[in-house]
Amino acid sequence: MKMEYRRLGTSGLKLSVLSFGSWVTFGSQLDDDLAMESMTAARDAGVNFFDNAESYGGGDSERIMGRVLANLGWARSSYVVSTKVFWGLSEQVNMSNTLNRKYLLQAVDGCLDRFGLDFVDLLFCHRSDPETPVEETVWAMHDIVSAGKALYWGTSEWPGEALIEAYEICDRHHLRRPTMEQPQYNLFNRARVEQEYRPIIERHGLGLTTWSPLASGQLSGKYLDGIPEGSRGALEGYEWLRSSLTDRGRNGKLRELKSIAAELDCTMAQLAIAWCARNPLVSTVITGASRPSQVVENMESLGVLSRLDDEIIVRIEAASS
Ligand code: NDP
């Protein structure tokens, strides 16, 4: 199984089609040693992109990833690392739930400090901010990239119209345009990528780094008989996820997916991840794992890609919609 590297939209940057992110896990399920084992397993499979965010683990996720990268001693040119800013690390006015210039310029310095890096490759506005003009945010992101603190900037879950406004402002003022967006994309959540963003991707060359390919683990089938111990659904602080993880309608659909996976001789998780990666609009599928063995299993989705012919895709999509 050879890793495929895809361009991030129309940029020249190439990302492994499967990547690895640290949400929930770094700091709560994975300590430094397990994070190192997981990142090493991902890298061994060809992963070159590692996703993070300021808010993950209250800043600990960036600290752990930074220490792991330093300990592994990988050449800085050999990996792409991201972070995302918006929620902030305190509730202080101007420092949380905002994309104002003051926050953005200070937040990126905090991220670099926690990572122990001079720059991040990708910097995302983690959500949109209706209380800051898009123009103010675009100028701040342009300045951060111009200062060399991030190489490319993008958005996460921005409404399509805010993205279009950002492109218009960039074109008017010759500013650095958003290169990528980070939306949720999986068999249960398709509309934003396939409908809302498709025309923007086609017109502006936006790249997609998509998240939650397993819908927080549900598409692995692990919640078919309730919430297993040690799963995300059992974690304190993630009670809000439980009703969708155990939703009967959704889990009913999974039973058909389970038999398709059996026919293809793969696990449900591999089937769900390969389905995301099969979409050419997707530059990279950010996978997550609470243990290294899941990384190994998920990376083997690469071998399932070639088994997804048109007929199987029709069946998978009929089963999950
Ligand atoms: P998934 O939907 O793939 O869920 C990953 C979780 O599912 C794991 O932590 C693990 O949880 C479980 N799991 C993974 N593999 C398997 C397997 N083979 N068998 C059984 N269970 C499995 O992805 P995430 O929700 O973690 O999202 C991936 C990344 O996307 C994040 O790390 C983050 O970088 C990014 N992200 C970005 C967001 C944004 O707003 N921009 C939002 C959310 C994520 P467990 O074992 O504990 O059950």
Q: Supply the residue whose CA is at minimum distance from atom 21 of ligand 1.
A: 217
Q: Supply the residue whose CA is at minimum distance from atom 34 of ligand 1.
A: 21
Residue in 28, 6, 20 with CA at minimum distance from that of residue 51: 20
Q: What is the pLDDT of residues 255-296, one digit of tens each?
A: 999 999 999 999 999 999 999 999 999 999 999 999 999 999
Helix (H, G, I), strand (E, B) or coil at 73: coil
Our answer on whether the CB atom of 82 is closer than 6 Å to any ligand 1 atom is no
Question: At residue 1, does pLDDT exceed 90?
Answer: no
Which residues, at least 6 apart from 33, have a Cβ–Cβ distance to it below 8 Å?
none
Task: Tell me the average pLDDT across 42-56.
Answer: 98
Written as one letter, the residue type at 312 is I
CA quadruple 138, 140, 146, 149: dihedral, nearest 10: -120
CA of 257 to the centre of ligand 1 (A): 19
Task: Tell me the average pLDDT across 102-107.
Answer: 98
Place of tokens 């310029």: 105
Share of the chain above pLDDT 90, in %: 99
Catalytic residue ranges: 56
| Mean pLDDT for all residues in the chain | 97
pTM: 0.99
Q: Supply the residue whose CA is at minimum distance from atom 27 of ligand 1.
A: 212
Task: Tell me the average pLDDT across 245-257.
Answer: 92
User: pLDDT band at 143, cuts 50/70/90?
Assistant: very high
The CATH number of 5-213+276-313 is 3.20.20.100
CA of 318 to the centre of ligand 1 (A): 24
CA of 240 to the centre of ligand 1 (A): 15
